[in-house]
Amino acid sequence: MIKILVVDDHALIRKGITQLLEDNHGMQVAGEAETGIQAISMMRNNHFDLVLLDIALPDKHGMDVLKQLKSEQPDIKIIVLSMYPEDQYGVRTLKAGAMGYINKQSAPEKLVGAIRHVNSGKKYISEALAEQLLNNLIGESQDLMHQSLSNREYQTLCLMSSGKSLIEISEAMLISPKTVSVYRARMLKKMGFRNNAEAVHYAIAHHLVDAKN
């Protein structure tokens, strides 16, 4: 029996995933968490074989939750299940320790297949993500400047481009406004932009706007 922790802030999505997985032999949703902090606490106090983790959580960014879970339990298997397309977070989540990335618009059977694949110890890579990884390998995506950003710098770019103020970004990322300013300055320098407007234009043009946050 594969014991699964579902981490998503939408109750309807958690219920839908639970119904889907429990209709499949050998899978059990053994826990549900609606925040990153709750997920981390549940992982410390219970045993799970696999975690289905959303990126956009109300308290901690999914990337930060992913890193902390892998830091505390290096062997835990994590699949990121997100509304964002693979080109936004797919490669980043794999580098951070996830064993798979699935867009929520994927067919249900793909999720079931991914869970079985990852539980066997293999990484699950969709066709879209495989193409992106190949492009990175052969250098076709060198023009995508945001790939050079750290995760925090990337989060700052996405949140800033969605119209959030400095204070709102600091609250979303759980850091001080001063630290946000540091990440923003680093982001602008790495990407060669003179001001926020140029960064926002780039983010919109490359579909990086973090609409949910």
Cβ 145 vs Cβ 190: under 8 Å: yes
Q: Which residues make up the CATH 1.10.10.10 domain(s) of the chain?
A: 145-205
Query: 203, 204, 213, 212: which is closest to 165 by C-alpha?
Result: 213
DSSP state string for 169-211: HHHHHTS-HHHHHHHHHHHHHHHT-SSHHHHHHHHHHTT---T
CA 77 to centroid of chain Cα atoms: 14
pLDDT at 138: 57
- The stretches in the chain having pLDDT less than 70 are 132-144, 210-213
The CATH number of 145-205, from 1.10.10.10, 3.40.1280.10, 3.40.50.720, 3.30.300.30, is 1.10.10.10
Q: Quick one: pLDDT at residue 205?
A: 82
CATH code given to domain 2-137: 3.40.50.2300
The torsion angle over the Cα atoms of residues 159, 160, 162 and 165, rounded to 10 degrees, is 100
Q: Tell me, what's the pLDDT at 147?
A: 79
- Are residues 126 and 101 in contact, defined by beta-carbon separation less than 8 angstroms? yes
pLDDT of residue 142: 47
Pairing of strands 77-82, 27-33: unpaired
- pTM (2 d.p.): 0.71
Return the bridge partners of 79, or none.
Answer: 52, 100
> Where in the chain are all domains bearing CATH 3.40.50.2300?
2-137
